[in-house]
């Protein structure tokens, strides 16, 4: 068999050496052993046994979809944990999560024994605020869940001005969130199962409309609202238009007129030609006919006809 | 399909068999082909024998996860990336590993080394596959994979000149450095079948080579033993350092394994360059040195391209082939390359 050509062999026969001063070429850093100082500043970050950790009681997030958790677990198993979770120490060698419940759950899924965590000293009050402010700015927590979380910590503060300040939001915003409180019972039940169904803006609008509705019409308005929520859920009604929808429907119901959630358009033909359309929308009924199709006299006759029709039928 | 087989002596060495030649023959159930004088062993025969020696059936499978990746890399051209890539891949297949080669160089020299003329063939290269994946279109990876040895022992995703376009769309994609890794992970059912993936990179530093590097744990830096090539280490080192510092937070770290190529005993400059390498990289330099051998020069047939082939196929008993076999053995250890998830002893 032919002999192998090796660096060690060449060194042995004296053809080359390994002893040249070694500064000529750039160095490649070796993979470092797993270190706990993940971004250099977390001196008190440690590996804490997963089962010694319990979730944050003030956690506003109530739903942890299994699929998302699996995806997070896969990404953690591949590239590791980018940021350690934050915990506080309880009396009996137990820890409570301040931020990072999803990561902790993913670690449990992966059946890992310990998770990198930073220990922070923190009071109940701070804990609640941190849990909310961690999540408020993220899009995946619904307004309703934030409202519930705010309600939970409300009593920790003397008044709402202080509460708003601690949360870092203006008071108007805080009241928007709290508008969910004024929703009728059936809507609260719906929100408990599907918290994303309406935003805080829509909730504010609903509150405003219901407050302005006369007591006699309240039952009718709630019926319309119930219907409107169904329409929102199936995508037939835009939730930003909920106030005008309720008002228009209420008016229409009282007058016996037509209601609809979205625009309906019917074409008007002259023989085969398309000359205009009739549109029924939440705002009303519009007819439009192209220029040059009917004369001024006929237009005026049409106007009289419609006026007569309305006064005959609705008075 | 390439009809490359080896004779008993090499086959015994490759399968780690130490008994008598007669007993070795009995390990395989196939009859000798009639007009053949020697017993010829193909890559799938060696796999069959090795699995049999481990008491495993031929269809023993591995876990569906991305195998080790050998990424042949240097920022300079003409250092022998393709030669080492093609020869090591063919040798790994002859050792009984299932190997996928990816030609990541628009010059398509790896494709040419295996006798495929990209100018006459309809080639779907890795850039097209990644683009389809990036655009969430349906892609037919199986159709892009060309089998070279029987039983998928050696497969190739070929390349052509249009691979050079990849950077233009890669520029605008998010997380572009990890796009190749994501592409592999998303298609683990296909790529997880192989025991090892061998990539031949382009001799430049661009987004595609970065993407290949970010999917690897350790690149195989090929250095030609001269001053120019040592200077190019500077570029490679800054490339590696940049990726490592940019993605260290994700737990990404790229190691470097260096192999010296083109050693000739009568050139003082070779010895000088090797001394510099050995002194600077005591831990990273492979002990195996590839000689400046004429077998490597005879690999590509200029006028009969389809007859081209790596030195290990054409001259399996040459000095060049011996160096490649030794290098491949060391890489099996270095990269922990297995057969059907079984560690190789």
What does the pLDDT look like over B217-226, one tens digit per residue?
A: 999 999 999 9
Determine the Cα angle at A15 with ends A12 and A16, to 5°: 85
Instruction: Say how many C-beta atoms besides its own lie within 10 A of residue B21's C-beta.
Output: 12
Instruction: Say how many C-beta atoms besides its own lie within 10 A of residue A105's C-beta.
Output: 18
User: Does residue A101 sit in the same domain as residue A185?
Assistant: no
A267 is in which domain, residue-wise?
A: 260-290
Is residue A115 within 8 Å of residue A105, measured between CB atoms? Answer: no
Q: What single-letter DSSP state applies at residue A14?
A: T
Alpha-carbon distance of A191 to A206, in angstroms, equals 14
The answer to whether the CB atoms of B249 and A22 lie below 8 A apart is no
pLDDT more than 90, % of chain A? 3
Q: Would the pLDDT of A70 be above 70?
A: yes
The ipTM is 0.87
User: Does residue A101 sit in the same domain as residue A189?
Assistant: no
Q: Would the pLDDT of A141 be above 60?
A: yes
Domain closes at, from A83, A112, A138: A138
Alpha carbon of B282: minimum distance to chain A alpha carbons (Å): 8
Alpha carbon of A36: minimum distance to chain B alpha carbons (Å): 12
Query: At which residue do the structure tokens 């022998």 appear?
Result: B80
The answer to whether the CB atoms of A21 and B251 lie below 8 A apart is no
Residue A249 located in a structural domain: yes
Alpha-carbon distance of B214 to B222, in angstroms, equals 18
Residue A193 located in a structural domain: yes
Alpha-carbon distance of A116 to A49, in angstroms, equals 9
Select the residue of A7, A18, A79 nearest B252 (Cβ to Cβ): A79
pLDDT digit string, tens, across residues A208-244: 888 888 888 888 888 888 888 888 888 888 888 888 8
The answer to whether the CB atoms of A38 and B281 lie below 8 A apart is no
User: Does residue A101 sit in the same domain as residue A147?
Assistant: no
So what's the pLDDT on residue A41?
39
CATH superfamily, domain at B69-334? P-loop containing nucleotide triphosphate hydrolases (3.40.50.300)
Q: How far is CA B191 from CA A204, B141, B173, B182, B196, in A?
A: 53, 10, 23, 12, 9
Residue A95 located in a structural domain: yes
Top pLDDT among B149 and A96 is at B149
| B277-282 contacts at long range (C-beta below 8 A, 24 or more positions apart) | B277/A25, B277/B223, B277/B225, B277/B230, B278/A7, B278/A11, B278/A16, B278/A17, B278/A18, B279/A17, B279/A18, B279/A19, B279/A20, B279/A21, B279/A22, B280/A20, B280/A22, B280/A24, B280/A25, B280/A27, B281/A25, B281/A28, B282/A18, B282/A22
CB-based contacts of B30, cutoff 8 Å, min separation 6: B45
Alpha carbon of B241: minimum distance to chain A alpha carbons (Å): 7
Number of domains in chain A: 3
Q: Report residues of chain B scoring pLDDT below 50.
A: none
Q: Would the pLDDT of A313 be above 80?
A: no
So what's the pLDDT on residue B258?
96
pLDDT digit string, tens, across residues B279-337: 999 999 999 999 999 999 999 888 888 889 999 999 999 999 999 999 999 999 999 99
Alpha-carbon distance of B278 to A7, in angstroms, equals 8
So what's the pLDDT on residue A37?
37
Is residue B320 within 8 Å of residue B291, measured between CB atoms? Answer: yes
So what's the pLDDT on residue A36?
36
Q: Would the pLDDT of A81 be above 70?
A: yes
Q: Would the pLDDT of A39 be above 50?
A: no
Q: What single-letter DSSP state applies at residue A302?
A: H
Span between the terminal Cα atoms of chain B, in Å = 30
User: Does residue A181 sit in the same domain as residue A235?
Assistant: yes
Is residue B106 within 8 Å of residue B160, measured between CB atoms? Answer: yes
Residues of chain B in contact with residue A24, where contact means CB-CB under 8 angstroms, are: 230, 276, 280
pLDDT digit string, tens, across residues A23-35: 778 888 776 544 3
Alpha-carbon distance of B293 to B327, in angstroms, equals 15
**Helix, strand or coil for residue B201?**
strand
So what's the pLDDT on residue A42?
42
């Amino acid at each position: 068999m032919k002999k192998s050509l090796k660096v060690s062999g060449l060194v042995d026969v004296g053809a080359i050496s390994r002893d040249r001063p070694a500064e000529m070429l750039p160095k490649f850093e070796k993979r470092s052993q797993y270190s706990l100082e993940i971004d250099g500043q977390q001196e008190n970050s440690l590996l804490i046994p997963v089962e010694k950790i319990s979730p944050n009681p003030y956690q506003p997030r109530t739903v942890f979809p299994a699929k998302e958790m699996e995806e997070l677990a896969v990404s953690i198993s591949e590239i590791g944990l980018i940021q350690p979770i934050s915990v506080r120490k309880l009396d009996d060698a137990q820890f409570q999560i301040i931020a990072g419940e999803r990561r902790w759950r993913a670690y449990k899924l992966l059946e890992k024994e310990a998770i990198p965590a930073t220990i922070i000293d923190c009071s109940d009050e701070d804990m609640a605020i941190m849990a909310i402010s961690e999540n408020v700015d993220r899009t995946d927590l619904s307004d309703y869940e934030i409202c519930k979380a705010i309600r939970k910590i409300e009593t920790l503060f003397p008044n709402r001005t202080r509460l708003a300040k601690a949360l870092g939001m203006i008071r108007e915003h805080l009241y928007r969130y709290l508008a969910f409180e004024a929703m009728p019972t059936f809507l609260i039940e719906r929100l408990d199962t599907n918290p994303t169904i309406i935003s805080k803006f829509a909730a504010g609008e609903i509150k405003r409309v219901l407050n302005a509705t006369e007591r006699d019409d309240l039952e009718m308005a709630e019926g319309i609202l119930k219907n409107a929520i169904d329409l929102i859920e199936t995508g037939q009604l835009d939730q930003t238009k909920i106030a005008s929808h309720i008002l228009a429907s209420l008016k229409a119901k009282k007058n016996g007129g037509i209601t609809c959630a979205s625009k309906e358009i019917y074409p008007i033909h002259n023989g085969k030609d398309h000359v205009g359309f009739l549109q029924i929308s939440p705002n009303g009924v519009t007819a439009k006919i192209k220029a040059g199709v009917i004369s001024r006299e006929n237009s005026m006759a049409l106007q009289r006809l419609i006026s007569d029709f309305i006064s005959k039928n609705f008075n | 399909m390439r009809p490359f087989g080896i004779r008993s002596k090499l086959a015994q060495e490759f399968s780690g068999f130490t008994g008598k030649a007669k007993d070795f023959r009995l390990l395989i159930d196939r009859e000798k082909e009639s007009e053949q004088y020697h017993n010829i062993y193909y890559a799938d025969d060696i796999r069959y024998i090795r699995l049999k020696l481990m008491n495993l059936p031929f269809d023993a499978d591995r876990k569906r996860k991305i195998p080790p990746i050998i990424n042949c890399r240097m920022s300079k051209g003409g250092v022998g990336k393709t030669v080492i890539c093609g020869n090591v891949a063919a040798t790994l297949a002859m050792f009984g590993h299932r190997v996928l080669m990816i030609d990541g160089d628009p010059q398509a020299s790896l494709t040419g080394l295996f006798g495929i003329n990209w100018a006459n063939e309809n080639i779907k290269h890795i850039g097209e596959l990644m683009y389809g994946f990036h655009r969430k279109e349906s892609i037919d990876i199986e159709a892009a994979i060309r089998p070279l040895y029987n039983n998928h022992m050696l497969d190739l995703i070929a390349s052509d000149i249009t691979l050079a376009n990849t950077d233009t769309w890669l520029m605008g994609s998010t997380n572009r450095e990890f796009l190749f890794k994501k592409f592999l992970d998303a298609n683990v059912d296909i790529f997880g079948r192989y025991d090892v993936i061998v990539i031949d990179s382009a001799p430049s530093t661009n987004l595609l080579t970065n993407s290949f590097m970010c999917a690897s744990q350790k690149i195989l830096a090929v250095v030609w033993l001269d001053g120019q090539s040592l200077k190019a280490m500077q570029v490679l080192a800054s490339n590696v350092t940049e990726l490592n510092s940019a993605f260290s937070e994700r737990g990404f770290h790229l190691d470097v394994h260096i192999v010296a190529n083109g050693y000739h005993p009568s050139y003082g400059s070779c010895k000088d360059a090797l001394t510099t390498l050995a002194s600077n990289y005591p831990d990273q330099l492979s002990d195996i040195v590839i000689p400046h051998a004429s077998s490597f020069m005879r690999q590509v047939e200029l006028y009969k391209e389809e007859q081209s082939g790596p030195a290990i196929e054409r001259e399996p008993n040459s000095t060049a082939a011996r160096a490649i076999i030794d290098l491949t053995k060391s890489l099996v250890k270095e990269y922990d390359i297995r057969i059907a998830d079984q560690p190789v002893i």
